[in-house]
Amino acid sequence: MKLSKAKIGQTFTVQNVEGKDKVKNFLFTLGCFEGEEITLVSKLAGAFIINIKDSRYAIDEAMANSICVSI
């Protein structure tokens, strides 16, 4: 399932990150890589607020679509 389709407040495990290398590298620097836990905190004005390793980040819908997660 794509992170953009996830319910707010749930914690997921990242299965893989799709997309261009630039997007993959950026998400990797945030700590978003295979096997890592990620929580969707909220959706605000097209931005997805995520929690990875006790840090919160805002990403756009295109980046949220490139993150595949499972419960």
Compute CA distances 51 → 2, 20, 30, 43, 61, whole Å.
Answer: 16, 22, 10, 12, 15
Architecture field, domain 3-70: Roll (2.30)
List the chain domain ranges.
3-70
Would you state the structure tokens that stand for residue 57, as one six-digit string?
């980040």
* Buried/exposed 22-61: b ≥16 CB within 10 Å, e otherwise: ebbebbeebebbeebebebeeeeeeebebebeeeebebee
- State residue 71's pLDDT score: 81
68 CB neighbour count, 10 Å cutoff = 15
What does pTM read for this prediction?
Answer: 0.85
> Is the pLDDT assigned to residue 57 strictly greater than 90?
yes
Q: Give the chain's mean pLDDT.
A: 91
